């Protein structure tokens, strides 16, 4: 897997969304791992893609009412099958972290890459997801050498008390063993 000069992964589905902007300083030095499923706990639905593309029908499910007008994105989404969809080039700032702090620095979106795994805090992730995440991570480290083991975190680490993902079901040791 390779990242081109535009910040796009080769050989993955590109679904360019409009929910991003320029990085204020162009730096990429942090990887943030998230989880998402819409509706919560349901997989293989079209709704995560709809959310990131700004096209979610907030009447499609009762839990979607809070999503009305929400503009969020991730650089990539990894489905339970291992399929990788890229929404935002890594060179751009995706809107995934919200209010966040890492090592005393606020606004993690400015300098991070956000990868969403289709999942929940409590359900095990699939081997296909770990394999895909491993490949994406290796490509990110090759392109952005400031990303290292200590600069790969969960959403819970940069927004404690507000976010819990990727949750206890994410096997950090297994993931790090694959990558490093």
Buried b (16+ CB within 10 A) or exposed e, 142-157: ebbeebeeebbbbbbe
Catalytic residue among 5, 22, 62, 116: 116
Q: Which residues contact 44 (CB under 8 A, 6 or more apart)?
A: 79, 80, 118
Kindly report the number of other CB atoms within 10 A of residue 105's CB atom: 13
Nearest to 32 by CA among 76, 70, 89: 76
Nearest to 119 by CA among 155, 93, 161: 155
Q: How far is CA 122 from CA 30, 35, 36, 77, 167, in A?
A: 24, 11, 12, 18, 6
Nearest to 82 by CA among 21, 135, 17, 15: 135
CA dist 58 and 65 (Å) reads 6
Instruction: Examine the residue annotation and report whether 116 is marked as an active-site residue of this protein.
Output: yes
End-to-end CA distance of the chain: 16
Catalytically active residues, by annotation: 116
């Amino acid at each position: 897997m390779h990242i081109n000069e535009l910040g796009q992964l080769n050989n993955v589905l590109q679904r360019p969304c409009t929910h991003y902007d320029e990085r204020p300083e162009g730096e990429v030095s942090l990887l943030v791992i998230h989880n998402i499923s819409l509706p919560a706990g349901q997989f293989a639905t079209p709704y995560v893609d709809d959310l990131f593309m700004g096209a979610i029908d907030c009447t499609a499910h009762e839990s979607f009412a809070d999503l009305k007008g929400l503009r969020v994105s991730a650089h990539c989404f990894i489905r339970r099958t291992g399929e990788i969809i890229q929404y935002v080039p890594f060179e751009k700032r995706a809107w995934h972290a919200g209010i966040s702090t890492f090592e005393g620095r606020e606004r993690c979106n400015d300098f991070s890459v956000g990868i969403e795994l289709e999942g929940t805090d409590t359900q095990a992730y699939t081997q296909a997801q770990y394999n895909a995440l491993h490949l994406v991570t290796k490509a990110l480290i090759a392109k952005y050498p400031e990303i290292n083991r200590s600069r790969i975190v969960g959403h819970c680490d940069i927004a404690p008390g507000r976010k819990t993902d990727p949750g206890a079901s994410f096997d950090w040791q297994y993931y790090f063993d694959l990558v490093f």
